[in-house]
Amino acid sequence: MKFFAADKPGRRRAAVALVATIVAAAVFQLSPSVPPSKPLPIAPLATAAPLRIADSLVQRVDTLRRGETVVELLERGGLSQPETRSLLSAAEGLDARRLPAGMGVILRSPAGDSMPSEIVFYLSQERTLYLKRTSQGWVADEKRIAWQLDTVVVSGTIRSSLYAAMDSAQGAWLTRPARSDLAWTLADVYEYRIDMSRELRVGDTFKVLFELSTAPGGLVRVGDVLAARFEFSGASVEAIRYEKSGGRAEFFDQDGKSLRMAFLRAPLAFRRISSVFGMRRHPVLGVRRAHKGTDYAAASGTPIRSVGEGTVIFTGRKGGYGNAVEVRHRNGYVTRYGHMRGFAKGVRRGSHVGIGQTIGYVGMTGLASGPHLHFEVLVNGAQRDPRRALASKTGLPIPVADRAKFDQLRAAYIAILDSDVKVVAVR
């Protein structure tokens, strides 16, 4: 699975150049599977089945579930209540009240015995707590995690959604939370160019080159995306991570234009579209009428963000829109957000908002059959299809002084993405 090691940003470019010449890639083909889950902070490498690590021990990996206590996790792992109390008494570095959901745990048991004799808690991305059962009881030892940094290529084809494609990686090399994390990261990279919830089509493809950190025992952590390519709706858009002077990283396309533009493509970071621009049957009124915007179905309370920098020109009740906010942007653009549950603090008429700033929260006020956001774009007072209106703004080009270095780095990354060498590996 390893592609190449790159311990520091300075060595990364040299490693990329070397790898580009030999074009050796670890590429994994993905296909659709189950719906996405919210990314968890850390998780072990494999969760489906026990992994035999020695003739005498069988290793199981697990995670602390949302709303679960560490006692419940340990009892599920085979510890009796007395053993659990003894272990927690020995684990002085373990604060049971502050453990995050998604914390990785490894349990090792003698073959044929369900009672673990060794347990490893991944307390954070840098610390582990190792406990071993002895004849005198449990003994604890806290250690630093020694991460190994590799760079990996993943490719996939859209059958239903980006999350479904990313979630069905073959083999046990990447956990479901890590795959979800990678999907969210990739969506963030392209959030100025592609609305992942409504612009992807069956048959669209992607490739992504990213850093993957692995710790002893199987813990994995998705790092920076270095390069990617999306083939969607007949277009190809690359994303090349480039660090300009000052160390600030930004993504540029194949033409050297920044992926960061005047507007985000969607007003929700956690987005799932339920209706598109055009004619439809109104879910409350029950009649056909022009639906001059886009509905994003989301849980009540989901933060709504302004898709661009501007000035708030309206907040309050607005007929069938319910609680609504309108933001005026440059060049005659106004964006409207409806059915809100409430407004963000400080958002009022005359206030300035930045791109991506939270302006309110998803609700179902006004003519709404369920919690969702109704989003509109008006250009010079006329309602326009948000998909087309927000796609008309291009990013700034890379500085002339950086162009040669950018072209060199892009060539190396693209050589890796275009490699036909494919290795499917299972630990």
pLDDT tens digit string along 285-317?
Answer: 554 445 578 888 888 888 999 999 999 999 999
For residue 73, give the amino acid letter: L
Residue 283: what pLDDT? 52
Residue 42: what pLDDT? 36
Residue among 165, 193, 163 nearest 180 (CA): 163
Instruction: Report the mean per-residue pLDDT for the chain.
Output: 78
Report whether pLDDT(333) > 90: yes
Report whether pLDDT(329) > 90: yes
Mean pLDDT of 252-270: 88
Report whether pLDDT(423) > 80: no
Instruction: Give 235's pLDDT tier (boundaries 50, 70, 90).
Output: confident
Q: Which carries the bigger pLDDT value, residue 178 or residue 385?
A: 385
Residue among 110, 8, 13, 34 nearest 410 (CA): 13
The secondary element (H helix, E strand) that includes residue 409 is helix 403-417
Residue 49: what pLDDT? 37
| Domain span(s) for CATH 2.70.70.10 in the chain | 273-389
Task: Encode pLDDT of 8-51 as tens digits.
Answer: 444 454 444 444 443 333 333 333 332 233 332 333 333 333 34
CB 50 within 8 Å of CB 108? no
Residue 110: what pLDDT? 87
| Domain span(s) for CATH 3.10.450.350 in the chain | 9-39+147-263+406-417, 43-144
Report whether pLDDT(273) > 50: no
Strand residue runs (E) in 344-385: 352-353, 358-362, 372-379, 382-384
- CA dist 20 and 24 (Å) reads 8
Looking at the chain, the whole-number percentage of residues with pLDDT higher than 90 is 34
Does the domain at residues 9-39+147-263+406-417 carry the CATH identifier 2.80.10.50?
A: no
Residue among 375, 372, 367 nearest 285 (CA): 367
Residue 349: what pLDDT? 97
For the chain, state the CA radius of gyration: 25
Alpha carbon of 215 to those of 42, 105, 125, 221, 299: distances in Å?
11, 13, 9, 9, 35
Does the domain at residues 43-144 carry the CATH identifier 3.10.450.350?
A: yes
- CA dist 299 and 362 (Å) reads 7
Three-state DSSP string of 254-274: CCCEECCCCCCCCCCCCCCEE
Listed ranges 104-118, 153-167, 384-398; the one with the highest mean pLDDT: 104-118
Q: Which carries the bigger pLDDT value, residue 246 or residue 320?
A: 320
Backbone angles phi, psi at 94, to 5 degrees: -105, 110
- CA dist 175 and 122 (Å) reads 15
- The runs of H, that is alpha helices, within 37-190 are 70-76, 81-90, 162-167, 176-189
Residue 342: what pLDDT? 95
Residue 312: what pLDDT? 98
- CA dist 375 and 325 (Å) reads 10
Q: Which carries the bigger pLDDT value, residue 418 or residue 404?
A: 404
Residue 52: what pLDDT? 41
CB 250 within 8 Å of CB 244? yes
Q: Which carries the bigger pLDDT value, residue 66 or residue 404?
A: 404
* 332-346 burial code (b ≥16 CB/10 A, e <16): ebbbbbbbbbebbee
Residue 304: what pLDDT? 94
Report whether pLDDT(163) > 70: yes
CATH fold, domain 273-389, is Glucose Permease (Domain IIA) (2.70.70)
Residue among 160, 124, 142 nearest 42 (CA): 124
